[in-house]
Structure 1
Amino acid sequence: MSRSSALGRSRQRGLSIIEVLVSMVIGLVVVGAVLLSYIASGQTNKLQAAYSQMNEDAQIGLLILSRDLQLAGYAQATGHDPLTFQFGRTYSGNAVFGCDTGFVAANTTAAVACAATGSSPAIEVVYEGDVTNTVPTSGGLPSDCLGASLTQQTVGATSFYITRNRYYVANSVLGRPELHCASNKAAATGGALVDNVEGMKIWYGEANPIDKRQIVRYVSAANVLDPTFANVVSVRVCLLMRSSEPVLTAEDPSTYLDCDSVTQNSADRFARRAYFTTTALRNKMTF
Structure 2
Amino acid sequence: MKQRVLRSRMQGLSLIEVLVSLVIGLIVVGAVLVSYLGSGKTGKVQAAYAEMNENAQIAMTIMNRDLLLAGYAQPTGVSGTTFTRSYSDRPIFGCDKGLDNVIRRNQTAPWDNTVCAVAGADDHVIEVVYEADLTNTVPTAANVPSDCIGNTLPTTVVGTATYYIAHNRFYLSSGASGKSELYCASQQGAAGQPLVDNVEAMRIWYGEANAANPRQIVKYVSASSVSDWGRVLSVRVCLLMKSSEAVLNSEDPLTYLDCDGVERTSADFFVRRAYFTTTTLRNKMAF
- Name the TM tier (shorter chain): over 0.9
Asked if 1:164 corresponds to 2:174, the answer is no
Distance 2:156 2:203 in 1: 33
Contact 2:110 2:167 in 1 (8 A): no
* Counterpart in the other structure of 1:257: 257
What SS does the aligned partner of 2:230 have? coil
1:180–1:191 Cα contact (<8 Å) kept = yes
- 1:155 paired with 2:153, answer no
Take 1:155 and 1:62, find their aligned partners in 2: how far apart are those partners? Answer: 33
* 1:99 aligned onto 2:95: yes
Q: What TM-score do the two structures reach when normalised by structure 2?
A: 0.93
* TM-superposed deviation, 1:195: 1.1
- TM-score (norm. length: structure 1): 0.93
Note if 1:119 corresponds to 2:117: no
**Residue in 1 that maps onto 2:217:** 215
Partner of 2:194: helix, strand, or coil?
A: strand
The percentage of counterpart residues that share the same residue type is: 59
Number of matched pairs: 280
What residue identity is the alignment partner of 2:146? Answer: S
1:110 matched to which residue of 2? 109
- Where do 4+ consecutive residues of structure 1 move more than 3 Å? 9-14
Look up the match of 1:47: 45
What does residue 173 of structure 1 align with?
176
Partner of 2:16: 18
For 1:71 and 1:264, locate their aligned partners in 2 and report how far apart those are by CA, in whole Å: 35
- SS of equivalent to 2:149: coil
Match of 2:273 in 1: 273
Q: Secondary structure at the match of 1:67?
A: helix
Code of the residue aligned with 1:100 in structure 2: it is D
Match of 1:236 in 2: 236
Q: Please report how far the alpha carbon of residue 5 of structure 1 lies from its aligned counterpart in structure 2 after TM superposition.
A: 3.1
Answer whether contact 1:78 1:158 (CA < 8 A) is retained: no
Q: 1:132 maps to what in 2?
A: 135
Classify the secondary structure of the residue corresponding to 1:94: coil
User: 1:15 offset after TM fit, Å?
Assistant: 2.5
Q: Distance in 2 between matches of 1:71 and 1:138?
A: 23
Distance 2:203 2:90 in 1: 20
Q: How far is the alpha carbon of 1:10 from its aligned partner? A: 6.5
Letter of the 2:129 counterpart: V
* Corresponding letter in the other structure for 2:4: S
Q: Assess, with a 3 A threshold, how the Cα gap between structure 1 residues 99 and 12 changes in structure 2: closer, same or farther.
A: same
Letter of the aligned partner of 1:172 in structure 2? G
Asked if residue 79 in structure 1 is aligned to residue 82 in structure 2, the reply is no
Paired with 1:162 and 1:12, the residues of 2 have a C-alpha distance of 98
Contact 1:73 1:95 in 2 (8 A): yes
* Secondary structure at 1:237 match in 2: strand
Measured in 2, the distance between the counterparts of 1:126 and 1:152 equals 14
Amino acid at match of 1:111: P
Aligned residue in 2 for 1:60: 58
The aligned amino acid for 2:109 is A
* Superposed displacement of residue 268, structure 1: 0.6
Q: Indicate conservation of the 8 Å contact 1:69/1:279, yes or no.
A: yes
Cα separation, 1, equivalents of 2:128 and 2:219: 20
Equivalent residue number for residue 193 of structure 1: 195
Mapped to 1, the partners of 2:121 and 2:139 lie a distance apart of 34
Deviations, residues 148-181 of structure 1 (Å, cap 9, x unaligned):
0101111001111000000011111221111111
The Cα of 1:234 is off from its aligned counterpart by: 0.6
